[in-house]
């Protein structure tokens, strides 16, 4: 009899504070936060856009809206801290997809 080996972590789950989540009946993917005070919150990004002009630092401001799909611990989700937290995740996702060639930015 053979024993199933333990699944090794994927790039998505290794050292991440989030995972992608999707219900079978939905045509969109959500983000589920997996650690810290926001653990368990599930949300999705709505509109994501970049400002046309970069800041003096060279950074390009990112604007986004989001919908909360689940907030099991009733954490504060309207705060600037939460918005910055999920904004950092969005930047990480965008950078990863740029590196993998899944998205491009038209200049």
**Under 8 Å between Cβ of 32 and 18:** yes
Q: Does residue 59 or residue 5 have the better pLDDT?
A: 59
Residue 6 has pLDDT above 50, yes or no: no
Annotate 43-87 with DSSP letters as a single string.
Answer: EEEEEEEE-SS--TTS---EEEEEEEEE-TT----SSHHHHHHHH
Read off the pLDDT of residues 42-93 as tens digits, 9 standing for 90 and up.
999 999 988 888 888 878 788 999 999 999 999 999 999 999 999 999 999 9
For residue 51, CA distances in Å to 60, 87, 104 come to: 6, 15, 15
What is the model's pLDDT at position 15? 57
The average pLDDT across 6-10 equals 41
pTM: 0.76
């Amino acid at each position: 009899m053979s024993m199933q080996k333990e699944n090794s972590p994927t790039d998505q789950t290794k050292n991440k504070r989030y995972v992608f989540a999707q219900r079978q009946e939905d045509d969109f993917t959500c983000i589920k936060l997996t650690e810290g005070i926001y653990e368990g919150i599930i949300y999705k990004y709505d509109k994501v856009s970049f400002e046309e002009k970069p800041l003096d630092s060279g950074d390009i401001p990112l604007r986004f809206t989001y919908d909360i799909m689940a907030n099991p611990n009733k954490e504060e989700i309207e705060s600037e801290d939460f918005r910055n937290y999920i904004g950092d995740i969005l930047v990480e996702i965008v950078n990863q997809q740029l590196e993998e060639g899944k998205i491009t930015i038209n200049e």
